[in-house]
Structure 1
């Protein structure tokens, strides 16, 4: 059965790449380019997974992860979050996981690692 994946990514090429990869693996996707719209989109789309950039305009991925984890809808608050980011240092991964992300993939992504992490989280 197809899983629903919300992709939050401000870069249009990355959004298309991630969405195409996910659809190629039989997942339904919805893309959001602005972090300000992500929480509302997640409530409406009801994803099984959220793939999220950390460097977003207007609202950082850190803030967005915290908003999702604190959401009054317990089902949404429990959705796994995979951060996909150019922050590539060991401390960056620790900060991202401490904020509430379940997985971390650095950019530029390895397609195999991206797909493997999605599979693990779903």
Structure 2
């Protein structure tokens, strides 16, 4: 059975590129339009990995991570940030919130697949 990745980004084009890349590598992909939508979708079903942007309306990526880490079902779910943010301060906030890793946009599709495989197989 394919592993499920929840991709959370307010940019439809980024969600489409991530979904296309991951589906091509054999993963099931669930898409969310912002952090609030991502939290609702992660609450409703089991996911193997969350891939989230930082800057989004309604709920940003770090708030999403904090909320997910507060749920027993997602305490140990791998969460990767995929964002244009690359400052050390932002990365340390992500780590403090519980992010597993950090990828900077624009992303290399092959590198994204490598990181996802390393994290969830």
Q: Please indicate the TM-score interval, normalised by the length of the shorter structure.
A: over 0.9
Tell me how far apart the structure 2 counterparts of residues 19 and 58 of structure 1 sit (CA, whole Å).
22
Question: Does the 8 Å CA contact 1:80/1:121 hold for their aligned counterparts?
Answer: yes
What is the aligned partner in structure 2 of residue 55 from structure 1?
Answer: 55
- The residue that corresponds to 2:21 in the other structure is 21
SS at match of 2:50: strand
Q: Tell me by how many angstroms 1:92 deviates.
A: 2.3
The two structures have a TM-score, normalised by structure 2, of 0.92
**Count of residue pairs the alignment pairs up:** 120
What are the within-5 Å matches in structure 2 for residues 60-75 of structure 1?
60-71=60-71, 74-75=72-73
Match runs of 1:1-122 below 5 Å: 1-71=1-71, 74-122=72-120
Q: How does the TM-score come out when normalised to structure 1?
A: 0.92
Farther-moved stretch of structure 1 (6-15 vs 111-120): 111-120
1:38-80 per-residue CA deviation (whole Å, 9 max, x = no partner) reads 1120122310000100111111111110000011xx2322211
Q: Tell me if the contact between 2:34 and 2:60 (Cα under 8 Å) persists in the aligned partners.
A: no
The CA RMSD measured in Å over matched residues stands at 1.2
Query: Could you tell me whether the CA contact under 8 Å between 1:87 and 1:106 is conserved in 2?
Result: yes
Distance 2:10 2:105 in 1: 14
